[in-house]
Structure 1
Amino acid sequence: MRHECYFCHIKTVESLIRKFKPDADTAEGFIFAVHELLAANRDMANPQLATQVHRIARQHLDNGNLYAAEKKEANDLLLGQYEDWKKRVRDTDDPFYTAAKLAVIGNIIDYGAHSVSRDISAQIQGFLQQDLTIDMRGELKEALGRAESVLYLGDNCGEVVFDKLLIETLGHPNITFAVRGKPVINDVTEEDAGYVGMDRVCRVLSNGADAPSTLMDFSSDEFKEAFYAADLVISKGQGNFEGLMECDHPNIFFLLIAKCAPIAELLGVEKNNMVIVRR
């Protein structure tokens, strides 16, 4: 385990204790349960560790949806701006390129990576001024034109509103949007997808798991069947990238912001660079 990953998990514990203000005994139990997990599983993949950390958090803090308020706030914010963003995309020379960039920018709304600013709108505007460091939008557009079926792996609330805008812009007749099976961090679930109206633009499918990632070993049979049957997989976010960067699907594109040094190094970019890459 890299030291950055260890401290990221500890930062999660600290932020949840600040938020929920448990009594001293509960906080101590939570802290040391996570410490023991990390100490005993130094070689466990980071998405699996994050899954276990948040299971421990839900148990010790007696809350099944730890980021419910943050999820709703982010969704409401971007839903309130939706028509403006939709017009902005429609009025550009290449709506697909603009919508794809916005979908990547939305990935900054990630409480698991501790990347969310107090002013999300200003944060989005800042990323709009930057170029994608790895930009395979052209290749993605060609792949979409050839694909009869597309599986789009969602990541976070707030971000999902830009995902919806991209999916509407694509106009592809056979897209399935995949979500988490249970609440974890601010990741999008079926309930969240319904809240932003994703079910009105495409099919929504749960992956059956409570990981803040896509971990095939823990996903439902229905999801695994959809994953391998899809001609094209669009994977959103850093968590999904971590879970799938070595997967054997022959046609997968990753759209994300590299929000930490280890992931940036894997991609050959700098921290907070935006990428659309095929691996």
Structure 2
Amino acid sequence: MKNLLAKFNPPKTVSEDFIFSVHEILGDNRSMINPKLATNIQRFAKQKLNTKDLYASEKLSANKILLADYEYWRNYIDNSNNPFYTAVRLAVAGNIIDYGAHSVNGDIKEQIKDLINTPFAIDKSKEFKKAIDKAERILYLGDNAGEVFFDRLLLETIRHPKVTFVTRGAPVINDVTIEDAKQVGIDNICEIIDNGFDAPSTLLEFCSDEFKLAYNSADLIISKGQGNFEGLMNEKHPNTFFLLMAKCEPMAEMLGCSMNDLIVTQLN
């Protein structure tokens, strides 16, 4: 939150009230699940700082930076020994682009390149490939702007005829919106819908009827990022694969891995 105050530089009285109120929200909602708590804080921040999109410039910048290197990454995948596996690795590595978890520092491209050769701590990519090949309808749950560029590369590599890509219902942190997804060309590959809610996650009870219909109709869910994992890990969809980086110790402990590990997993 200090970074937001430095960015928007509100009057001192607003800053002090903002910090006090955020601590109050945290103290009063200790039992609330993290994605819902983050939603409440983000809504409060947008109200206090008088903006609809706290990270609009960062999202635009991340998308532009990565789009400029499209040919580099497309060739990197296509010329690899296993294009599918390489595209999955890039899609998971792209999960580092997260201003909410403070995981972005400096050159995005260099950070991705450093992660490409990091082995998956949990690797169910073979099972993932089989599930894609069998699926008739795929629902792909996006996570962050910038990262969505690598989702595009994976979707291009998969070349599945019936994929629906899902964004957040409104701006929250640097999570992907329909506008962000269109900026990197996802709309040229598949249908895009939003989930009807502004959590940095997928919380089914709050999502739109349109999204719930798509979710229940899909025979494969591809869920990107820790936020979506937190929202869906206790749901009962029979075929969900999670592609993420473990960004906090409690989540890493629950998954049986270390913080910042890269993961492709399926919960049964």
- Give the TM interval when normalised to the shorter protein: over 0.9
What do residues 150-179 of structure 1 show as CA deviations (whole Å, max 9, x unaligned)? 000000011000000000100100000000
What do residues 75-108 of structure 1 show as CA deviations (whole Å, max 9, x unaligned)? 0011011111111111112110000000000000
Asked if residue 244 in structure 1 is aligned to residue 194 in structure 2, the reply is no
**Counterpart-to-counterpart distance in 2, 1:60 and 1:29:** 9
**Counterpart-to-counterpart distance in 1, 2:106 and 2:249:** 22
**Counterpart-to-counterpart distance in 1, 2:265 and 2:97:** 20
Greater shift, 56-65 or 16-25, is seen at 16-25
**Counterpart-to-counterpart distance in 2, 1:70 and 1:137:** 31
Paired letter, 2:231: G
| 1:168 paired residue number | 156
Map 1:64-213 → 2, pairs under 5 A: 64-213=52-201
What do residues 222-273 of structure 1 show as CA deviations (whole Å, max 9, x unaligned)? 0011011100000000110111111111100000011111111111111110
Structure 2 unaligned spans of 5+: none
- Normalising by structure 1, what TM-score? 0.94
Whether contact under 8 Å (1:29, 1:60) holds in the other structure is no
**Counterpart-to-counterpart distance in 2, 1:238 and 1:77:** 23
- Normalising by structure 2, what TM-score? 0.98
Shift of 1:121: 1.5
Paired letter, 2:233: M
Give secondary structure in 1 for the equivalent of 2:234.
Answer: coil
Map 1:258-277 → 2, pairs under 5 A: 258-277=246-265
**Counterpart-to-counterpart distance in 2, 1:109 and 1:241:** 16
Alignment counterpart, residue 51 of structure 1, candidates 33, 39, 44: 39
Paired letter, 1:80: A
| 1:34 paired residue number | 22
Paired letter, 1:118: G
Shift of 1:128: 1.3
Paired letter, 2:9: K
Give secondary structure in 1 for the equivalent of 2:241.
Answer: strand
CA RMSD of superposed structures (Å): 0.7
**Counterpart-to-counterpart distance in 2, 1:161 and 1:56:** 29
**Counterpart-to-counterpart distance in 2, 1:131 and 1:73:** 28
**Counterpart-to-counterpart distance in 2, 1:38 and 1:214:** 21
Give secondary structure in 2 for the equivalent of 1:123.
Answer: helix
Q: How many residues align?
A: 267
| 2:210 paired residue number | 222
What do residues 2-21 of structure 1 show as CA deviations (whole Å, max 9, x unaligned)? xxxxxxxxxxx111112111
Structure 1 unaligned spans of 5+: 1-12
Amino-acid identity (%): 55
**Counterpart-to-counterpart distance in 2, 1:93 and 1:38:** 48
